[in-house]
């Protein structure tokens, strides 16, 4: 057995946690609550929000943090998030050390500390790639609103002018805080974060590092350690509350009169009895059977089962029930419980003795409908710890014989290493059993059968924010049942709170207001810096391909000469490319096709000739064409038709590298009657002026 790493210095002088409000650290003088180590019960910190002026904190966020963040573009905010993620990543060892007292093992830290930092990185990258170098986002396409085209509509999104209040649960003091922080900061909204008191010392340490990094503007982040006081009383219609925790607290906060009266946006993630369903095809010997058992055991033991996404209900075909229980039992026997600082410990203690008492109480409640088939909630043999002072608990597996008739197994959440096996007879019954949870964050389905996957996935989807389908093809790279990911929605309906977090930019948009703009194309183009049909399109004196990125203005247009398309062109193209599809080569067959009047030009021929018409051949600042978007062929082109092209700068976007910028062009190809035959967005890269002049100087 390895000796435990020395306890952090917290052991000798428990610090009093400070709040960080109005860009100052506030030390409480009264009402200190002792926070105890999950491992041995010693006091590791004291916390209280005494001395915090909540009204001033909200004002500070609104008047200092908000304006400072909104002065930055999305790209500038993303860059700061990235630098912050790098800064934290270089210092994560100190957070690991602190985290041990919450009961976290090294494996748990990968979820909480590394997962939190990873979420910052992910949002930084999305902000750069998917958001403009602007302070607003255009949402969707232009809506034509008038016959003459002089009145159109468009949606934009702008950051709310309020504050994001983030209230977190105890189980992920780092990830829980950062997964909420990243989207809000990227949106341009300042944050007041309130960690759960039980593990606030980890959150406080993370905020200390963030403050030390000096990467976020003043007022962008404030921290409240201890109770939330009258914080909610000061909120208004520009503010957002995002809450993770129990259903009771969530109800209380959602029903706060200010939240209702001022229509404060309220996002909730709360108790969730997530399920994993084994398909009837996945019998012992099938890879999906082993994967299922492994995943259930992993979900019961990571963070000692204290995960909002953990599998609580293990739904299996009735004929396989006994075999599944035996297989899970065999794996659970290998889970070593104890002080997480010991290398051989796989599962640490629960967060506190009171949390363990709550889990034991929940198990007692479940025993009215289920029986224990593995483990004992009162017995464990912790390595390097004792049961009286440490919140250790061995995994407990229950089985419920009649899950369709039962109620508690679907409503009581034992927030610890506990799961209940439930048999089903038909796929419809499996769905009905899971649906009795009345909404969960995640369900997973283990099958390699199309029919089973179809019935289960579409049956379960309305009750879940995420459904994971595991089979032999994806298992090796699967991120698992319990891991919410920055690019995917985290949240669920009903009991799970009805909220959504992350999900890529969706999580950012919770902090922004969508507004429909109506006006003339010229006005909307000028406001949004995006050309739209009907807006001025001055024909440029100098071909736009001869101009560098800075020299291009949105709306600059090239109109080309026309080119007639002959039957020889079509045959040459067919011969050259090998595309001899009958619509281009066989007059009778083409005529029989309802879309064509006879032989027509290839769509790709039209694109190629369009390029031939608009390209300026000389070397110049236009560096490359990197794609087409939204391509539509709208009308067939017959031999004898003549096409010409109008090319307009639609949007400009600086690239991450300083040497070039990305330009989106609106391309419209017309026939001799002025009818549009093809339309698309052309994407190019153009050299930046400074890069071009420094290259010339060199």
204 is a catalytic site residue: no
Give the residue ranges of DSSP H helices in 71-199: 74-89, 92-99, 106-109, 115-130, 175-187
Per rule CB under 6 A, is residue 197 in the interface with ligand NDP? yes
Q: Which is nearer to ligand NDP, 248 or 587 (CB)?
A: 248
Nearest to 605 by CA among 577, 630, 647, 628: 577
Specify the stretch interacting with ligand NDP by CB under 6 A; choose among 139-147, 242-250, 364-372, 688-696.
242-250
Per rule CB under 6 A, is residue 684 in the interface with ligand NDP? no
Q: Which is nearer to ligand NDP, 127 or 437 (CB)?
A: 437
* Residue among 36, 194, 234, 602 that touches ligand NDP (CB under 6 A): 194
Longest dimension (CA), the chain: 92
Contact indicator for 608, 570 with CB cutoff of 8 Å: no
Q: Which is nearer to ligand NDP, 171 or 684 (CB)?
A: 171
* Residue among 218, 252, 451, 472 that touches ligand NDP (CB under 6 A): 252
* Residue among 138, 167, 366, 565 that touches ligand NDP (CB under 6 A): 167
* Residue among 186, 223, 275, 308 that touches ligand NDP (CB under 6 A): 308
CB of 306 to ligand NDP, least distance (A): 7
* Residue among 246, 513, 562, 593 that touches ligand NDP (CB under 6 A): 246
* Residue among 19, 48, 171, 648 that touches ligand NDP (CB under 6 A): 171
Residues 463-482 touching ligand NDP, rule: CB under 6 A, are none
CB of 527 to ligand NDP, least distance (A): 39
Cβ neighbours around 506 below 10 Å, total: 15
* Structure tokens given for 336: 């070593």
* Residue among 238, 249, 323, 562 that touches ligand NDP (CB under 6 A): 249
Total residues contacting ligand NDP (rule CB under 6 A)?
A: 24
CB of 121 to ligand NDP, least distance (A): 22
308 is a catalytic site residue: yes
Cβ neighbours around 559 below 10 Å, total: 17
Which class for 108: exposed (0-12), middle (13-18), buried (19 or more C-beta within 10 A)?
Answer: buried
Residue nearest to ligand NDP (CB): 245
Q: Which is nearer to ligand NDP, 470 or 496 (CB)?
A: 496
If DSSP codes are grouped into helix, strand and coil, which group holds residue 398? strand
* Structure tokens given for 306: 């204290």
DSSP states of 479-513: --TT---TTSEEEESGGG-SEEEETTHHHHHTTEE
CB of 102 to ligand NDP, least distance (A): 12
Q: How far is CA 201 from the centre of its chain?
A: 26
Per rule CB under 6 A, is residue 271 in the interface with ligand NDP? yes
Residues in the chain, total: 698
Segment holding 324, helix H or strand E: helix 321-332
- Distance of alpha carbon 118 from alpha carbon 108, whole angstroms: 14
Instruction: Please state the three-class secondary structure of 44-75 as a single string.
Output: EEEECCCCCCHHHHHHHHHHHHHHHHHCCCHH
- Distance of alpha carbon 291 from alpha carbon 284, whole angstroms: 11
Segment holding 167, helix H or strand E: strand 164-167
Specify the stretch interacting with ligand NDP by CB under 6 A; choose among 76-84, 241-249, 392-400, 557-565.
241-249
Catalytic-role residue among 204, 225, 288, 308: 308
DSSP states of 237-267: TT-EEEEEE-HHHHHHHHT-HHHHHTT-EEE
* Residue among 88, 169, 347, 649 that touches ligand NDP (CB under 6 A): 169
Per rule CB under 6 A, is residue 302 in the interface with ligand NDP? no
Q: Which is nearer to ligand NDP, 176 or 459 (CB)?
A: 176
* Residue among 242, 272, 420, 684 that touches ligand NDP (CB under 6 A): 272
CA angle 583, 626, 621 (to 5 degrees): 125
Per rule CB under 6 A, is residue 196 in the interface with ligand NDP? yes
* Structure tokens given for 4: 């435990």
Specify the stretch interacting with ligand NDP by CB under 6 A; choose among 89-97, 267-275, 548-556, 610-618.
267-275
- Distance of alpha carbon 439 from alpha carbon 421, whole angstroms: 18
- Distance of alpha carbon 668 from alpha carbon 354, whole angstroms: 68
Give me the 608-647 binding string for ligand NDP, x by CB under 6 A, dash otherwise. ----------------------------------------
CB of 225 to ligand NDP, least distance (A): 9
Per rule CB under 6 A, is residue 227 in the interface with ligand NDP? yes
* Structure tokens given for 600: 């027509």
Contact indicator for 346, 107 with CB cutoff of 8 Å: yes
CB of 69 to ligand NDP, least distance (A): 24
Residues 375-414 touching ligand NDP, rule: CB under 6 A, are 413
E-only strand ranges, 510-641:
512-519, 557-559, 563-564, 622-633
| Binding residues for ligand NDP (CB under 6 A) | 167-171, 194, 196-198, 227-228, 244-246, 249, 252-253, 269-272, 308, 413, 415
> Known catalytic residues?
269, 308
């Amino acid at each position: 057995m390895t000796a435990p790493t020395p306890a952090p210095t917290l052991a000798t002088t428990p610090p009093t946690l400070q709040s960080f409000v109005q860009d100052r650290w506030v030390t409480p003088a009264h009402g200190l609550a002792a926070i105890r180590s999950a491992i041995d019960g010693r006091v590791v910190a004291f916390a209280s929000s005494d001395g915090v002026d909540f009204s001033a904190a909200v004002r500070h966020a609104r008047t200092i943090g908000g304006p400072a963040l909104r002065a930055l573009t999305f790209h500038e905010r993303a860059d700061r998030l990235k630098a912050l993620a790098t800064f934290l990543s270089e210092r994560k060892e100190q957070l690991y050390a602190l985290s041990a007292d919450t009961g976290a093992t090294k494996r748990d830290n990968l979820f909480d500390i590394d997962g939190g930092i990873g979420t910052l990185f992910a949002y930084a990258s999305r902000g750069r790639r998917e958001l403009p170098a602007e302070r607003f986002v255009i949402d969707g396409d232009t809506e034509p609103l008038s016959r003459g085209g002089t009145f159109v509509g468009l949606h934009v999104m702008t950051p709310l002018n309020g504050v994001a209040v983030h209230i977190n649960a105890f189980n992920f003091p780092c990830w829980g805080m950062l997964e909420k922080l990243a989207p809000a900061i990227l949106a341009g909204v300042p944050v007041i974060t309130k960690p759960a008191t039980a593990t606030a010392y980890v959150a406080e340490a993370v905020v200390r590092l963030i403050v030390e990094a000096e990467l976020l503007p003043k007022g962008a982040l404030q921290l409240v350690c201890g109770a939330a006081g009258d914080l909610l009383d000061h909120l208004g219609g520009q503010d957002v509350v995002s809450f993770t925790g129990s259903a009771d607290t969530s109800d209380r906060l959602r029903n706060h009169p200010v939240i209702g009266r001022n229509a404060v946006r309220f996002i909730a993630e709360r108790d969730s009895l997530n399920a994993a369903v084994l398909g009837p095809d996945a019998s012992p010997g099938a890879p999906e059977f082993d994967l299922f058992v492994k995943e259930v055991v992993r979900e019961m033991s990571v963070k000692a089962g204290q995960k909002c996404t953990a599998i609580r209900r293990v739904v299996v075909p009735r004929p396989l029930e006994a075999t599944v229980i035996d297989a899970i039992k065999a794996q659970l026997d290998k889970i070593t419980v104890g002080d997480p600082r010991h290398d051989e410990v796989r599962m640490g203690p629960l967060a506190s003795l009171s949390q363990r008492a709550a889990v034991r109480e929940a198990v007692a409640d479940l025993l009215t409908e289920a029986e224990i088939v593995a483990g004992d909630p009162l017995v464990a043999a912790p390595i390097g710890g004792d049961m009286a002072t440490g919140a250790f608990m061995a995994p407990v597996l229950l089985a419920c014989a009649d899950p369709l008739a039962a109620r508690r197994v679907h409503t009581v959440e034992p927030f610890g290493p506990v799961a209940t096996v439930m048999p089903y007879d038909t796929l419809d019954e499996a769905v009905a059993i899971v649906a009795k949870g009345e909404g969960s964050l995640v369900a997973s389905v283990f099958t390699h059968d199309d029919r089973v996957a179809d019935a289960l996935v579409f049956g379960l989807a309305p009750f879940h924010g995420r459904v994971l389908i595991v089979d032999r093809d994806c298992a090796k790279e699967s991120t698992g049942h319990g891991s919410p990911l920055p690019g995917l929605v985290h949240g669920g309906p009903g009991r799970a709170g009805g909220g959504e977090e992350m999900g890529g930019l969706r999580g950012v948009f919770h902090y922004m207001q969508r507004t429909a703009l109506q006006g003339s194309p010229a006005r909307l183009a000028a406001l949004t810096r995006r050309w739209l049909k009907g807006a001025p399109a001055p024909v440029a004196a100098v071909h736009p391909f001869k101009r560098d990125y800075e020299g291009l203005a949105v709306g600059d247009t090239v109109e080309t000469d026309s080119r007639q398309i002959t039957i020889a062109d079509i045959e040459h193209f067919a011969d050259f490319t090998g595309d001899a599809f009958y619509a281009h080569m066989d007059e009778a067959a083409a005529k029989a096709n309802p879309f064509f009047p006879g032989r027509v030009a290839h769509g790709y021929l039209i694109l190629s000739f369009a390029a031939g018409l608009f390209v300026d051949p000389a070397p110049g600042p236009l560096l490359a064409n990197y794609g087409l978007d939204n391509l539509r062929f709208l009308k067939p082109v017959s031999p004898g038709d003549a096409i010409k092209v109008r090319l307009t700068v639609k949007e400009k976007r600086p690239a991450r590298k300083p040497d070039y910028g990305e330009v989106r062009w609106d391309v419209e190809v017309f026939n001799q009657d002025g009818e549009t035959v093809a339309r698309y967005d052309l994407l190019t890269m153009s050299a930046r002026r400074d890069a071009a002049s420094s290259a010339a100087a060199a």
